[in-house]
Chain A
């Protein structure tokens, strides 16, 4: 586990005297940079100090200090711990220059900060709302913004006990619905600028051109939000020249469930089941990241047996994720159902283990601060061993035999959706996407957490950077996961599964922490700020599906529209996490 002391081995203040100062608030770490010199310092951080991967960008609202803060987390792709730098601005006019010229990966995240916190980024190429729609009133994550069903600042609500007459939330709202309108609003006279218009103009301007005397035009195609192959309610607006993609914009927010706003109302423990619903394929790894972040803040150790159980669960979840990915990917390519049905069979067997241990197939809610909720029974361990030793290796091989050499598959995937290593790093790609571009960056190795440093496994990476590489990386990763599982199942010690006593109200020191895990889809990070209360002050999720889409346009431009579906499939997104 990284301690705050190991965070800043680089003395940025000495390099930029007068511009940079250390963040000296108790519990905080990192550097505070003067807003007007941000680009200069960030370039130095990337080029001089080697922190080339900008992992997360988010904002925090401090109305008590009259300040708005943007927090950046950067890492080295060669491994090592976190580098945090921040910019502070006055709250009534939060303006800062965009980091997109330095790291393209900041693009979508800065849009999110604008949408939810109202921080303006100058020189941003396309600063529009991203999760909410254009025209929505207010910036919801600001501390003084209240939602229509607002009851109390923090949970638990007083109306539930001891005099908890059941009332539905609608009864308390003047509109009898989950809505609120600004003062003086007249719905009859309401005229709105078409929110889509800004989106369409943000695409590359189309020009009608003469081609051999025939007037041609570009075509605009909307895919989604209801589309069988966008893996949920994702939408992409594509500008086409014939069948070739000229320009593309991802449009999201159709499943924006206000995870962060609700999370700042919940107590620390109450957030645990909500994290299940982020990447709903992999609730175990979601729990893992959140538990790590909070444990960092609490400064507690995890019981050893629990650590092993965590690794077992996280790796099982990775296998089922990648299996389903292969099946769904083939659906996207048009090989309807057969591989997906095979994959679901193995997934069901893995989910049986989750169900027997955690109580639920998908929404496991299994991790607790300092351990796990309940012990893995002998029966569950035996079943896991049977699967890991006798069944899953054969089934991964079967999937391999079924697909890998298939000529149609190879011709659809090879050389398509190319992403170079430099671009992958610059656009903050993580997970299999980054490794398929030839960067062997796996957090389990680069910045080991839990007990991953005790296991023997290879970081799978391929230099090609195309979709076939992404496919091969995932197939091989399943084998490596099985290798880890075998070792973990052999080494798992007896003992307690929780380091402290089970408690529903945890004590947390004021401060900040960033916990991250290598989730099946990439780096899943949780940034938590605590002010000493039982609820997190700021709670942000760095979702790999979301940030991996930064490069979607880069991947798609020049390809045919028919391949867009496959390229999107190969990124492996899940909407619960993308929109949060």
Chain B
């Protein structure tokens, strides 16, 4: 533990007590503890997953950030690295995984595909960005991001965690944000359950073009 990292500025600690005592706030302690043990979900989608594995492997070694513990089960994970193209067929499973993760939970969109569909955006089976369904905390551009770019993203995420406050984070507030993301349905095309009324009115509009209605 690096005491300097925890110390709140403005409080002088006597020299003889340095390295034994740290004065800090609960927030800082809380954030420091969490940012240093972000456990990602072991969950690879596509090409980016290989770079994610490479970042875990010998040369880049995510263990230095306390992130080496990849959990294959969502119930033990803090961070979902969406590493690759999200397809319509896959997105119900991803949403389910996200719902099962305990809070606090973070989502990283790794690479172009997860951020917005990427080079495959025009495809018929591709979701144009995981942020259509999940709240994304950090975007890492690149196709694929190199392991160093991924680690840069993780450091950015740590910085984000550092700025959080227990009293304000969304998961400790009453009501609201603990709501699950509804799992989309695979119909004739992907149906986002939250947008059903919208879809209904749009389909009606398209089925009866204005010109026809006038006539």
Whether chain A touches chain B in the assembled complex (some CB pair under 8 Å)? yes
- Which residues of A are in contact with B by a Cβ distance under 8 Å? 131-133, 135-137, 140, 147-151, 168-170, 174-175, 177-188, 190, 192, 195, 225-228, 232-233, 253-258, 261-262, 265, 273-274, 277, 280-281, 340-342, 344-345, 347-348, 361-363, 575-576
B188 touches A181 (CB 8 A): yes
Sorted nearest first, the 10 A-B pairs with minimum C-beta distance are A258-B123, A344-B57, A137-B188, A228-B72, A147-B124, A280-B47, A254-B90, A179-B189, A257-B120, A183-B207
Check if B119 is an interface residue, CB within 8 A of chain A: yes
A contact face: mostly helix, strand, loop, or mixed: loop
- The complex places the Cα of A574 from the Cα of B112 at a distance, in Å, of 20
- Using A133-B89, A179-B189 as known contacts, say yes or no to A186 and B200 having CB atoms under 8 A apart: yes
Partner of A262, one of B58, B122, B190: B122
Check if B203 is an interface residue, CB within 8 A of chain A: yes
Query: Which B residues from 44 to 61 make CB contacts under 8 A with A?
Result: 44-47, 49-51, 53-54, 57-59
A232 touches B45 (CB 8 A): yes
A256 touches B128 (CB 8 A): no
Shortest CB–CB separation between residue B52 and chain A, in angstroms? 12
- The complex places the Cα of A151 from the Cα of B191 at a distance, in Å, of 22
- The complex places the Cα of A451 from the Cα of B182 at a distance, in Å, of 55
- The complex places the Cα of A348 from the Cα of B120 at a distance, in Å, of 27
- The complex places the Cα of A186 from the Cα of B197 at a distance, in Å, of 9
Chain A: which residue is nearest B48 at the CB level?
A280
- The complex places the Cα of A228 from the Cα of B53 at a distance, in Å, of 12
B122 touches A149 (CB 8 A): yes
- The complex places the Cα of A14 from the Cα of B46 at a distance, in Å, of 49
- Using A256-B89, A344-B58 as known contacts, say yes or no to A169 and B122 having CB atoms under 8 A apart: yes
A136 touches B119 (CB 8 A): no
A175 touches B199 (CB 8 A): yes
- Using A183-B207, A184-B207 as known contacts, say yes or no to A257 and B49 having CB atoms under 8 A apart: no
Interface string of B78-104 (1 = CB under 8 A from A): 000000110111100100010000000
B42 touches A228 (CB 8 A): yes
A169 touches B121 (CB 8 A): yes
- Using A178-B128, A257-B120, A280-B46 as known contacts, say yes or no to A132 and B58 having CB atoms under 8 A apart: no
Contacts of A232 in B (CB 8 A): 44-46, 49
A187 touches B196 (CB 8 A): yes
For B45, B87, B196, the residue with the greatest tally of chain A CB atoms inside 10 Å of its CB is: B87
Contacts of B144 in A (CB 8 A): 362-363
For A150, A233, A261, the residue with the greatest tally of chain B CB atoms inside 10 Å of its CB is: A233
Contacts of A182 in B (CB 8 A): 188
For B47, B116, B191, B206, the residue with the greatest tally of chain A CB atoms inside 10 Å of its CB is: B47
State how many residues of chain B have any CB contact under 8 Å with chain A. Answer: 57
Partner of B128, one of A169, A174, A184, A228: A169
Contacts of B58 in A (CB 8 A): 341-342, 344-345, 348
Contacts of A253 in B (CB 8 A): 87, 89, 125
Check if B143 is an interface residue, CB within 8 A of chain A: yes
Contacts of A256 in B (CB 8 A): 87, 89, 125
Contacts of B121 in A (CB 8 A): 149, 169, 178
Check if B146 is an interface residue, CB within 8 A of chain A: yes
B117 touches A226 (CB 8 A): no
Check if B151 is an interface residue, CB within 8 A of chain A: no
Chain A: which residue is nearest B45 at the CB level?
A233
Partner of A265, one of B122, B189, B205: B122
B89 touches A344 (CB 8 A): no
22 example contacts (A-B, Cβ-Cβ < 8 A) are as follows A132-B89, A136-B189, A137-B189, A147-B124, A178-B121, A181-B203, A186-B200, A187-B196, A190-B185, A192-B187, A226-B43, A226-B72, A232-B44, A254-B87, A254-B90, A256-B87, A257-B87, A277-B47, A344-B59, A361-B51, A362-B51, A363-B47
A186 touches B203 (CB 8 A): yes
- The complex places the Cα of A185 from the Cα of B199 at a distance, in Å, of 9
Check if B126 is an interface residue, CB within 8 A of chain A: yes
Contacts of A361 in B (CB 8 A): 51, 146
A281 touches B50 (CB 8 A): yes
- Using A169-B128, A345-B58 as known contacts, say yes or no to A133 and B186 having CB atoms under 8 A apart: yes
B123 touches A184 (CB 8 A): no
Contacts of A169 in B (CB 8 A): 117, 121-122, 128
Shortest CB–CB separation between residue B195 and chain A, in angstroms? 8
Shortest CB–CB separation between residue B185 and chain A, in angstroms? 7
Partner of B85, one of A132, A255, A347, A362: A255
Contacts of A192 in B (CB 8 A): 185-187
- Using A169-B122, A257-B123, A344-B54 as known contacts, say yes or no to A226 and B196 having CB atoms under 8 A apart: no
Contacts of A348 in B (CB 8 A): 54, 57-59
Shortest CB–CB separation between residue A193 and chain B, in angstroms? 11
Partner of A255, one of B45, B146, B190, B207: B45
- The complex places the Cα of A342 from the Cα of B188 at a distance, in Å, of 46
Partner of A258, one of B45, B124, B187, B188: B124
B72 touches A227 (CB 8 A): yes
- The complex places the Cα of A188 from the Cα of B57 at a distance, in Å, of 48
Shortest CB–CB separation between residue A299 and chain B, in angstroms? 30
Contacts of B119 in A (CB 8 A): 273-274, 277
- The complex places the Cα of A136 from the Cα of B207 at a distance, in Å, of 19
Interface string of B135-159 (1 = CB under 8 A from A): 0000000011010000000000000
Contacts of B191 in A (CB 8 A): 179, 187, 190
A175 touches B202 (CB 8 A): yes
- The complex places the Cα of A265 from the Cα of B84 at a distance, in Å, of 22
Shortest CB–CB separation between residue A277 and chain B, in angstroms? 6
B186 touches A363 (CB 8 A): no
Chain B: which residue is nearest A227 at the CB level?
B72
Contacts of A137 in B (CB 8 A): 188-189
- The complex places the Cα of A60 from the Cα of B120 at a distance, in Å, of 22
A255 touches B97 (CB 8 A): no
Given contacts A175-B199, A362-B51, A575-B46, 8 further A-B contacts (CB under 8 A): A148-B189, A169-B122, A175-B198, A187-B199, A188-B200, A255-B45, A255-B84, A280-B50
- The complex places the Cα of A293 from the Cα of B85 at a distance, in Å, of 27
- The complex places the Cα of A78 from the Cα of B47 at a distance, in Å, of 35
- The complex places the Cα of A188 from the Cα of B200 at a distance, in Å, of 8
- Using A177-B132, A255-B45, A363-B143 as known contacts, say yes or no to A185 and B57 having CB atoms under 8 A apart: no
- The complex places the Cα of A277 from the Cα of B144 at a distance, in Å, of 10
Shortest CB–CB separation between residue A345 and chain B, in angstroms? 5
Shortest CB–CB separation between residue B122 and chain A, in angstroms? 5
Shortest CB–CB separation between residue A530 and chain B, in angstroms? 21
B44 touches A258 (CB 8 A): no
